[in-house]
Amino acid sequence: MSDEFPAKSADPRLQSVRLDEASALSPDFYAGDHWLGVDQAAVLEPGWQILCPASDVAQPGDHVVRDIGRVPVLIVHAADGALNGFVNVCRHRAGPLALCDGKGAKRLRCAYHGWTYDLDGQLRTAPEMQDAQSFDRDGIALARIELQTWNGMTFARARAGGPDFATVMAGIDALAAPYDLAGMHHHHRRIYKVAANWKTYVDNFLEGYHLPFVHPGLSGVVSYPQYRTELAPFWSLQRAPVSDPNGLYADGEALYFFIYPNTMLNILPGRVQTNRVVADGPSHCRVEFDFYYAPGFESMAEADDAFSDEIQGEDRLICERVQQGLNSGAYRPGRLSPSQEAGVWHWQNLLREAYARAEGGTTHGDANN
Ligand code: FES
Ligand SMILES: [Fe+2]
């Protein structure tokens, strides 16, 4: 990544600096509704992010509901085979079309007053509207969002404004190819709630510096001395050799991808675990975990889940304490380790750039593409 960042700001907290001169992002950005709103509007909503396994929406009528920033979204497999992404907000008075994931729907019916839409988003019926003058039923359809399917995973963004999908993902395919992610099968999902800002959780993901102190079990599996970080414009990769004394994981390499703004791919031999970090408030986030296994590796799922749960508990505790520290009013940004925190620096500069652009009033449409 270059040291040049196009969005300049007079705010010293938003000025990007070289890695060997860098400090952490100001704690100001980890608190309060203003910056939560900026995160949602300028970072999360225009950012491509993993939403669900493609297998969850494999058949006509299958649908999945999620939130991207403030935007409720609905992914639905239509009768013609198309995968459609909609804003899950009725065109009448903003009711929800679907309240939870489901299978085999023939239509989408709003839970508020019962307007129905076809699976392609077209309004089909609107009860009690016969007296409404110039009511153009055929001209009413659900707003769409963009979707992409990648290696059996469905990605989406709530609105344009950031880089396109191919630009974000460029280079990951080649690195992930030996793992044949598309050949893995989704096994189970878990959701973790963490009493920390969503960025605190991402910060923590982006370095292995804490491994020896926070994760004694994982330190015995992943080689901390050989841990290294690679940077691309919109993602980073932490990688290290794996050698598991307990035999749960085959020898090989661990690849931890972070895809800006909130997706993680954790690849170990025979397994990928995906994470999406969702902002639930200035001091709360939720992390969606999906576990996929290669054929023949499903038998490790229970032990893998238990080990992952142990690591997640360790990360949750430290993130919650760090959030207290960030909120204390007594913390000033500390220097980053150039050898251990390049991933943190990289992503915090992407945030600084997004914040500078948002605070400068630049419109979403001319952000990056
Ligand atoms: S809000 Fe959907 S039918 Fe009224
Ligand atoms: Fe960790």
Nearest atom in ligand 1 to 126's CA? 3
pLDDT at 5: 46
CA of 78 to the centre of ligand 1 (A): 21
Judge residue 168's burial from the number of C-beta atoms within 10 Å of its C-beta, 0-12 exposed, 13-18 middle, 19 or more buried: buried
pLDDT at 7: 56
Alpha-carbon torsion (297, 299, 303, 308), positive or negative: positive
Which stretch of DSSP H or E encloses residue 191? strand 185-194
Nearest atom in ligand 1 to 110's CA? 2
The rounded distance, in Å, linking the Cα atoms of 173 and 241 is: 20
- With a 6 Å cutoff on the Cβ, whether 92 touches ligand 1 is yes
Nearest ligand to residue 125 Cα: 1
Chunked mean pLDDT (size 10), the chain, 369 residues:
55 92 98 98 98 98 98 97 97 98 98 98 98 98 98 97 96 96 98 98 97 92 91 97 91 96 97 98 98 96 96 98 98 97 98 94 39
Nearest ligand to residue 275 Cα: 2
Give the angle 50-53-58 at the CA atoms, nearest 5°.
Answer: 130
The rounded distance, in Å, linking the Cα atoms of 300 and 315 is: 22
pLDDT at 292: 98
230 by DSSP, 3-state: which?
strand
What is the phi/psi pair of residue 12, to 5°? -60, -25
pLDDT at 17: 86
Residue-by-residue DSSP string for 274-288: EEEEEEEETTEEEEE
262 touches 278 (CB < 8 A): yes
Q: Which of 87, 88, 90 to mutate to test the pocket of ligand 1 (most atoms within 8 A of CB)?
A: 90
233 by DSSP, 3-state: which?
coil
What is the phi/psi pair of residue 238, to 5°? -105, 135
Q: Tell me, yes or no, if the two domains 12-45+171-359 and 49-149 fold the same way.
A: no
103 touches 62 (CB < 8 A): yes
pLDDT at 151: 97
pLDDT at 367: 34
Distances (CA, A) of 47 to 42, 140, 280, 289, 324: 8, 27, 17, 18, 27
Q: Which of 86, 89, 97, 113 to mutate to test the pocket of ligand 1 (most atoms within 8 A of CB)?
A: 113
- With a 6 Å cutoff on the Cβ, whether 13 touches ligand 1 is no
Q: If you take atom 4 of ligand 1, which residue's CA is the nearest one? A: 113
pLDDT at 6: 52
CA of 212 to the centre of ligand 2 (A): 10
**Between 342-359 and 198-205, two packed helices, what is the crossing angle to 10 degrees?**
150
Beta bridge partners, 272, equal 267, 292
Nearest ligand to residue 209 Cα: 2
Considering just the CA atoms, what is the radius of gyration of the chain in Å?
A: 22
281 touches 265 (CB < 8 A): no
- With a 6 Å cutoff on the Cβ, whether 113 touches ligand 1 is yes
Instruction: Strands of 13-103 (E only): list them.
Output: 49-53, 63-68, 71-77, 83-87
pLDDT at 9: 79
CA of 276 to the centre of ligand 2 (A): 15
The rounded distance, in Å, linking the Cα atoms of 264 and 278 is: 12
Which stretch of DSSP H or E encloses residue 346? helix 342-359
What are the boundaries of each domain within the chain?
Answer: 12-45+171-359, 49-149
Task: Give Cα 27 to chain centroid, integer Å.
Answer: 21
CA of 127 to the centre of ligand 1 (A): 10
Q: Which CATH number fits domain 12-45+171-359: 3.90.1300.10, 3.40.50.720, 3.30.2320.80, 3.90.380.10?
A: 3.90.380.10
- With a 6 Å cutoff on the Cβ, whether 112 touches ligand 1 is yes
Q: How many residues does the chain have?
A: 369
- With a 6 Å cutoff on the Cβ, whether 286 touches ligand 1 is no
What is the phi/psi pair of residue 10, to 5°? -75, -15
Nearest ligand to residue 140 Cα: 1
| Local structure of residue 335 (DSSP, 8 states) | B
CA of 62 to the centre of ligand 1 (A): 22
Q: Which residues make Cβ contacts (< 8 Å) with residue 129, sequence separation at least 6?
A: 135, 137
Give the angle 255-260-264 at the CA atoms, nearest 5°.
Answer: 35
The rounded distance, in Å, linking the Cα atoms of 175 and 255 is: 9
Q: Which of 115, 116, 137 to mutate to test the pocket of ligand 1 (most atoms within 8 A of CB)?
A: 115
Copy the structure tokens of residue 318: 């430290």
Q: How many CA atoms lie within 13 A of 17 on its CB side?
A: 13
335 touches 36 (CB < 8 A): no
The rounded distance, in Å, linking the Cα atoms of 241 and 17 is: 31
- Pairs from 298-301 (Cβ < 8 Å, separation ≥ 24): 298/185, 298/187, 300/248, 300/249, 300/270, 300/271, 301/187, 301/188
Q: Which CATH number fits domain 49-149: 2.40.30.170, 3.40.50.2300, 2.102.10.10, 3.30.1370.110?
A: 2.102.10.10
